[in-house]
Amino acid sequence: MSKVFLPLICAVFFVAGWGTSQTPSVQIGTWNLGFFTDLNRATGQWCEEHNPRTPKVIEEMTQFLDSLDLEVLALEEVEDAEALDLLLSFMLPGKYAYIVSPQTAPETF
């Protein structure tokens, strides 16, 4: 075999990933959304007054979130399940789900 072809074959194996071990992994991220609300003043006026987001901004956030290609994402400072429903309403139906873990202590105001 020619000396020229051997490095070329090795490069093809390397680029294709052949002969390399693949370690299973999970991509995890966190994001503090800072007063992310359901945009309903009846459910939390203080939160709504401190929420600078418009539907257009929420749409841009969801596009960014989707581009991260994470399996698990922990979101912080989300008002309630309705706020998460609002966030998911801008994403592909059925692609994402959530679990709400409400803060019980310490109380913050």
- In angstroms, the CA 88 to CA 37 distance is 13
Burial of 70 by CB count in 10 Å (0-12 exposed, 13-18 middle, 19+ buried)?
middle
Question: Which residue matches tokens 């020229």?
Answer: 4
Q: Where are the domains of the chain?
A: 27-109
pLDDT tens digits for 57-71?
999 999 998 898 889
Residue 69's contacts (CB-CB under 8 Å, 6 or more residues apart) are 27
Q: What is the pTM of this model?
A: 0.66
The rounded distance, in Å, linking the Cα atoms of 81 and 70 is: 20
pLDDT single digits (tens) 24-83: 888 999 999 888 888 877 777 777 777 778 899 999 999 998 898 889 999 888 888 899
pLDDT of residue 40: 79
Measured between alpha carbons, how far is 91 from 21 in angstroms, rounded to an integer?
A: 34
Asked whether the predicted pLDDT for residue 5 surpasses 70, the reply is no
